[in-house]
Copies of this chain bind each other. A is one copy, B any other.
Amino acid sequence: MARRNTAVTDQVEPAPNDDCPLPEVLALIGDKWCIQILVELGEGPRRFTQLERAIEGVSRRMLTLNLRNLERNGLVTRTVYPTAPPSVEYAITRLAEQIRDPLEALADWARHAVPDLLTARRVYDSRT
């Protein structure tokens, strides 16, 4: 069991069966900060500290782990420039760019559904 406690999500392992890959996708991009990382990198390449400042609330550790996971899955590239002090640049790949449309569709639904959702929630909560 190599790689224990080194990745955020260890599952995925896309079961070749199952007609519904959604759980896997969610496991892939569900890591609390992945979306925000992808969104930020969508604006252009960023360095580690830039990401750390832009995302706000993320710890160094979690940022590292999420980036490693994204890199491992081919959604983000990591380029080291051997300068002094060292400089590391992250960027999204084509694979990651192609996911932006589906995610945008999901975001559209979210924006549209939030009111109904909040209403449902108030009703449910008021009935305790």
A residues with CB within 8 A of B: 14, 20-26, 28-30, 32, 35-36, 39, 71-74, 95, 98-99, 101-103, 105-114, 116-121, 124-125
Q: Are B73 and A110 in contact (CB under 8 A)?
A: no
Q: How far is the CA of A107 from the CA of B116 in the complex (A)?
A: 25
Residues of B with C-beta under 8 A to A110: 21-22, 24-25, 28
Copies of this chain present: 2
Residues of B with C-beta under 8 A to A28: 110, 117
Selected from B22, B99, B102, B117, the residue in CB contact (under 8 A) with A73 is B117
Residues of B with C-beta under 8 A to A39: 20, 22
Q: A23-B36, A109-B25, A125-B72 are in contact. Are A95 and B116 (CB under 8 A)?
A: yes
Q: Are A14 and B118 in contact (CB under 8 A)?
A: yes
